[in-house]
Structure 1
Amino acid sequence: MTDDQNKEPKIVSDEDWKAQAKREKEKFREDEKQKTAPESADQAPPSGPLPPADFTTLVNSLLVQIYFCLGRFGDPQGKKPEVNLDLAKHHIDMLEVLEEKTKGNLSDDESKKLALALHEARMQYVQTAGV
């Protein structure tokens, strides 16, 4: 036998293996954090000031939800917008409740905006539903 064959194999200590496993685990966690981390601040969509918290904004937010349910807004990923008539009807009903509960407590301008929003929502619903 040669000298190389007579030598006993080198035994790697358990500590080396543990350290290597720990490094690999930390690297894996870092990689996962980078994959799931939100985009950096410079890549985030710009956000402007929030609209005022007033009656008109409330009505408009309900109207936007109605339009979304009626498929008036495209999907950001290019998919065909989904139509949900039941949910659209629910949001229209919510506008009607708002009109009923605020009757006599709104300015003329607010009353007109609410009436116009309800009329527009109903017309869009009828057009989409084909009623």
Structure 2
Amino acid sequence: MEEKEEKGFVIKDRRKFSMDEAEREPAGETIEEPKAKDEAKAKAEFQEAAKKEEEKSRLSLPEVSFSTFVFSLSSSALVHLGEIPGPDTQRVQVDLPMAKQIIDTLGMLQDKTRGNLDPDEDRLLKTVLYDLRMRYVQKSSQ
């Protein structure tokens, strides 16, 4: 019959609780300490789980690029303009100050990236900004 190896370490609490107990050493609490083999096994299992999770997320999320970033901001602006329902509530709500903030952020991005975008990215940003600005003006004048 195999003996089950005990895992663990002992923690001794040496704090003094009162002046009378100054000479007395309180009993320690026993807490299990993983052995080196178990640590290596746990680390390997963690890495395996992390790889699987990373693979799952890579399959479900689009590649990060300038275009997907612009589309993400644009979608957020459309939610705040009340053009599409919010992803969490599935309700249409208008929040013009938040929509303006996102549109201004896209405008700042256009200014800061001027001359550094390829023609397709530049055209996408200009088109999205034009569309969002027109929608904002229309919503704010209602």
TM > 0.5 between the two?
A: yes
Q: Which residue of 1 aligns with 2:74?
A: 63
Which one scores higher on RCO, CA 8 angstroms, separation ≥ 6? Answer: 1
1:105 aligns with 2:116: yes
| Structure holding more helix per residue | 1
Percent identity between the two aligned chains:
38
Hey, what's the Cα distance between the residues in 1 that align with 2:123 and 2:130? 10
Q: Which residue of 1 aligns with 2:103?
A: 92
Aligned AA (2:61): L
Segments of 4+ moved more than 3 angstroms: 75-79
CA-based RMSD: 1.9
Match runs of 1:1-16 below 5 Å: none
**Structure 1 residue 77, shift from structure 2 partner:** 5.5
**Greater Rg, structure 1 or structure 2?**
1
TM-score by structure 1 length?
A: 0.58
Aligned AA (1:91): I
**Structure 1 residue 78, shift from structure 2 partner:** 6.1
Aligned AA (1:129): S
Number of aligned residue pairs: 84
TM-score by structure 2 length?
A: 0.54
Hey, what's the Cα distance between the residues in 1 that align with 2:61 and 2:90? 27
Match runs of 1:17-56 below 5 Å: 49-56=60-67
| Structure holding more strand per residue | 2
Q: Which residue of 1 aligns with 2:134?
A: 123
Aligned AA (2:94): V
Hey, what's the Cα distance between the residues in 2 that align with 1:122 and 1:71? 14
**Structure 1 residue 49, shift from structure 2 partner:** 2.4
Deviation string, structure 1 residues 47-78 (Cα, Å, up to 9, x no partner): 86211100000100110010000011235666
Aligned AA (1:58): F
Consecutive unaligned residues in structure 1, runs of 5 or more: 1-46
